[in-house]
Amino acid sequence: MSPTKTSYVCLPCRASYKQPYGEDRRRICPRCAGALIHVGSAFAAPRRRDDEAWRTLSVLLNAGVRFHRSCCGGPGYRPRTLREVRERMTYAARTGRPIAEALVLRDLP
């Protein structure tokens, strides 16, 4: 049986690759030779020209948010616009919650 494939992303190249999962080796981008970031199997890459979506994705990945499948299907809520990211980061700063935790809240209290 072949190993399960999962997504890896190169933020500078705005590229996504499906590769077999394994923590035993470092993944390298075929375009720029930079390190790929493991994002999970439930990831859907935005179009390469969509600047706002890639900036939003960059904030999410740098905060430690990933796109792994849960028992019910998808990864749960993830903000799609910079406005949603800013709202959740402001909420995190006001309440003292970790940024990664605030970014995945569907509705802000």
Q: What is the pLDDT of residues 48-81, one digit of tens each?
A: 999 999 999 999 999 999 988 766 666 778 889 9
| Residue 16: its H or E element | strand 15-20
- 2 Cβ partners below 8 Å, 6+ apart? 20
| Per-domain residue ranges of the chain | 5-103
Question: So what's the pLDDT on residue 25?
Answer: 78
Give 1's pLDDT tier (boundaries 50, 70, 90). Answer: very low
Which residue in 100, 97, 57 sits closest to 109, CA to CA?
A: 97
Supply the pLDDT for residue 71.
64
The pair of three-digit structure tokens given for residue 26, joined into one six-digit string? 């470092």
Q: Is the pLDDT of residue 3 over 50?
A: yes
Predicted local confidence at residue 87, as pLDDT: 95
pLDDT of 17 over the 60 cut: yes
Q: Say which residues have a Cβ less than 8 Å from residue 39's Cβ, sequence separation at least 6.
A: 6, 7, 8, 9, 16, 61, 66, 67
Maximum Cα–Cα distance across the chain = 49
